[in-house]
Structure 1
Amino acid sequence: MRSKNYVTMMDPLQETFGDTMGSILFIPSLLGDIFWFASILASLGATVRVILDVSGYISIIISACTVILYTLLGGLYSVAYTDVIQLLFMMVSLWICVPFALLNSASENIAYTAVNKVFQEPWIGNIQSQYIARWLDDLAYLSLGGIAWQIYFQRVLAASSSRQAMVTSYLAGAFCAVLGIPSILIGAVAASTDWNQTSYGLPPPYQRNESNMILPLVLQYLCPTYVSVAGLGAIAAAVMSSADSSLLSASSMFAYNIYKKMLRKRASDREVLCVMRLSMILLGSAGTGLAFLSNSVYDLWFLSGEVVYALVFPQLCCSLFLPSTNTYGSMAGFFLGLVLRLLGGENSLKIPPLLHYPGCIFEDGIYVQLFPFKTFTMLVSLITIIVMSYLAQFLFMKKILSKRWDLCNVFYKERSHPAPHELEERETLHNT
């Protein structure tokens, strides 16, 4: 993608499947970016409320305004440079908090509680055999589903060379694992703490259904005040680092792939940038409003992430590695995958499954799908794209179907490739 000077992740999709199909594929990506922006702002608001006892709404509004402003003024440059500072600050601040939490008198040795029951079951946990397929499903979803996001590709496409893009991606993966260590240690401390010895009291967080608040709770009740503030700064840095990327991602795809390619093809670079800035304000405002819904936003973000994995990821793979696939296969794969995902249900949104996959059980009043249906849906979508593309090609090339049935103008119109002036224009936008 970097060697072809693409501007956004949607470019290869629109080249292979057409602008209309590309705009349909843009919808789950857009929703994912907005819900992600909202969910991380909500997490900051919840953290501020626990640590500083201040209304979370104030922190959400201030953070959103700050992110929108500096992203609006600096674009990718401001996002890239502030991300470096924010990531370093986040790493240092979280590591400062870890020893204070580990050495708190209310906490047992985490090495001992990893394999022995003290205040609760060993924190290292175990996987029951009936849930293995579901864990593997989530592993595949998190590993592969995170690829088809503009947040990632805007960094890849901004690299100075293809090699730098590749090396940076590998380093980012390793760095991500390093950044996860403090979170694991803090979670282990929380599971090894006698909360009755703290002002938090009993029952412990996991019995109050506050496990999702464990980081601010540990900072508040197991660390000194000044350390808690440093931890709050780390969370704020993490929020802004992610929020600005998602905002730039959604606005750049809308401005270039929807506005310029579909609504106004003769738009100048300056006009595209103006539209991008306006969309930043609108999308940022929408995400800020959704942040006040708190937990329901997380559910929507997870669901949109699953939709990206099941629908957009196979489309991106085909557009890059199987360019002979076409719009008919894309449409069939998209809509079949969407139907399968909806039929699978979503417990977090109280949507019962209409399609019970093998191993589906009824537990605590809800149906639980133990079958890896997310990955199954993705594979069905991928296979459908390939099969239907070749089937359509066979039917039209053998003249079994008349050209008047080629409604998408795939076979009886020369496939659209970027003209020289479009490539030059893309390079200009890329540099801009």
Structure 2
Amino acid sequence: MVENSLSIGITFALYLLLMLGIGLYAWKRTSDLSDYILGGRSLGPWTSAISAGASDMSGWLLLGLPGAAYISGLSAAWIGIGLLAGTWLNWLIVARRLRVYSFVASNSLTLPEFFEHRFRDNSHTIRVISALFILLFFLFYTSSGLVAGAKLFNTVFGLDYTTALTIGTLAIISYTFFGGFLAVSWTDLIQGLMMAAALVIVPIVAMSEMGISTTFARVQAENPLLLEWFRDAATGERLTWIAIVSSLAWGLGYFGQPHILARFSAIRSPDDIPTARRIAVIWSALGLVSAVAIGFTGLVYMPGVLEDSETVFMAMVNAIFHPLVAGILLAAILAAVMSTADSQLLVSSSALADDFYKAIFRKQASQKELMWVGRISVVLIAAIAYSLALDPDSSVLNLVSYAWAGFGAAFGPALIMSLFWRRMNRWGALAGIVVGGVTVVIWAQISGGIFDLYEIVPGVIFSYLAIVIVSLVSGEPQPEVTAEFDSIE
């Protein structure tokens, strides 16, 4: 793609300038920590829905999933089914109640702060441990985004991997540093629409050139297993129940992702949530179906095996479109990477500023001081994630799957139960968070037999058990805790 790099480079430069401009504008709209972390709870349904989806799917949707479908065919789509179900259930079950409860619980700005106020944990134990898990898993999650960005610049411009990684990291830091949550959400809206358009356009154009019936005939001729749901085209083996459950279980992760849950807390009114839910589900369905279609159409549109299957989207764009159009479509990958990495950096910096610095060290810190602590934290966390991403052989999908499981198991059960179970107490919450997070870390280190099951499954199961058992044996919650819960009802 290097021969078209000038035209594509101009497109990228204009896009990055637009994102930076939005960041500088949001700077003027950000006056306190609430603005920096939750945008003053002012998001409309379109912004909250698309930014939640864009920050969720990231470069994985344009690189990881098409790459998996390129190798394994339709059997890779089980992940998409789980994710679509998780998106719908998250908006249906969690969004409205979290929006209301997080405001009632002392206007909690972060997930750790919500847990602390929900259970009146004056020791700050839940808050600090939650923040530690956020920092741990977001380092891997943010690294996956930086790896995806580096692969983009490396493939398109022929840049050295480290140079490409550096450019992408600096671009993401710039507007997140300045604009906070508003910049992140507004840019995510633009980036999410770009992602959807690019994902839909590429397979439609490829299939229209080849013909729909011809496309499927070529796929069938290439490898009949590519169109089978229950057999992996790469190995020829039937999918085991462990493989199918592991793929579907990705949907469990939604209930514990801090960067997605932040959009629920930030929406301007609970009445906007049904509209936002419909937008989010339609956007996710279009993106997931199109990503899988790109994978197996790319295999027959461009005969020959790619060195890296996760570059199939980029290769197709370059093969089909004029360089100027290709530049716009490839900018969607940059958009996907930036839309997730900026959200992760913001949540991580919020954990450091609000859940460590303010809660433990400087309880009387001013709003301006906390904003600057948050901005400095963005740079520090990005630097650590950058160091983790320096390995050019890193897999976007593998990095995402580990972090996704960590958040889903550590926070998903704790959040669901804290929103809907009156009897839950702070010891149950703490046990659920620790057991879920630790289970993921340990399970991921073991392989073979039942341990090939995606670590989010045992993590979620053990977390729920820990919450129920510990809450029941450690006594009733405080009267003010149950009174607040009843007021939400």
Q: TM-score range by the shorter chain?
A: 0.7 to 0.9
Q: Which residue of 2 aligns with 1:397?
A: none
2:401 to 302, 309, 313: 302
- Does the CA contact (< 8 Å) of 2:435 and 2:463 recur in 1? yes
Q: How far did 1:108 drift?
A: 8.3
Q: How far did 1:276 drift?
A: 0.9
Output aligned runs, 1:190-209, within 5 Å: 190-193=298-301, 195=303, 201=304, 204-205=305-306
Q: How far did 1:27 drift?
A: 2.2
Q: Which residue of 2 aligns with 1:428?
A: none
Encode CA deviations 1:41-92: one digit per residue, 9 max, x unaligned. 2112212222332234333322322222212222222222222222233333
- Does the CA contact (< 8 Å) of 2:440 and 2:459 recur in 1? yes
Partner of 2:226, secondary structure, is coil
Encode CA deviations 1:349-373: one digit per residue, 9 max, x unaligned. xx334xx7xxx1xxxxxxx745566
1:135 to 241, 244, 259: 244
- Does the CA contact (< 8 Å) of 1:38 and 1:287 recur in 2? yes
The change in CA–CA distance for 1:322 and 1:63 in structure 2 (over 3 A counts) is same
Moved more, 1-10 or 334-343: 334-343
TM-score (norm 1): 0.75
Moved more, 77-86 or 120-129: 120-129
- Does the CA contact (< 8 Å) of 1:100 and 1:223 recur in 2? no
- Does the CA contact (< 8 Å) of 2:194 and 2:329 recur in 1? no
Output aligned runs, 1:365-404, within 5 Å: 369=451, 374-393=456-475
- Does the CA contact (< 8 Å) of 2:147 and 2:394 recur in 1? no
Q: Does 1:315 align with 2:409?
A: no
Q: How far did 1:215 drift?
A: 1.7
**Percent identity of equivalent pairs:** 23
Encode CA deviations 1:300-327: one digit per residue, 9 max, x unaligned. 4422221222222112222222243233
The change in CA–CA distance for 1:335 and 1:273 in structure 2 (over 3 A counts) is closer
- Does the CA contact (< 8 Å) of 1:93 and 1:231 recur in 2? yes
Q: Which amino acid aligns with 1:352?
A: I
Q: Which residue of 2 aligns with 1:90?
A: 195
Q: How far did 1:175 drift?
A: 1.1
RMSD: 3.2
Larger helix fraction of residues: 2
Q: Does 1:52 align with 2:151?
A: no
Q: Which is greater in Rg?
A: 1
- Does the CA contact (< 8 Å) of 1:151 and 1:249 recur in 2? yes
The change in CA–CA distance for 1:220 and 1:120 in structure 2 (over 3 A counts) is farther
The change in CA–CA distance for 1:148 and 1:49 in structure 2 (over 3 A counts) is same
Partner of 1:147, secondary structure, is helix
Q: How far did 1:103 drift?
A: 5.4
TM-score (norm 2): 0.67
Q: Which residue of 1 aligns with 2:309?
A: 211
Q: Which residue of 1 aligns with 2:335?
A: 237
Encode CA deviations 1:102-121: one digit per residue, 9 max, x unaligned. 3567998333345x3x1223
Output aligned runs, 1:13-412, within 5 Å: 13-15=115-117, 16=119, 18=121, 19-102=124-207, 109-113=214-218, 116=220, 118-127=221-230, 131-140=240-249, 142-193=250-301, 195=303, 201=304, 204-205=305-306, 210-221=308-319, 223-296=321-394, 298=396, 299-338=398-437, 340-344=439-443, 346=444, 351-353=445-447, 360=449, 369=451, 374-393=456-475
Q: Which residue of 1 aligns with 2:111?
A: 9
The change in CA–CA distance for 1:371 and 1:180 in structure 2 (over 3 A counts) is closer
The change in CA–CA distance for 1:315 and 1:80 in structure 2 (over 3 A counts) is same
- Number of equivalenced pairs: 372
The change in CA–CA distance for 1:170 and 1:8 in structure 2 (over 3 A counts) is farther
| Structure 2 unaligned blocks of 5 or more | 1-97, 232-237, 485-489
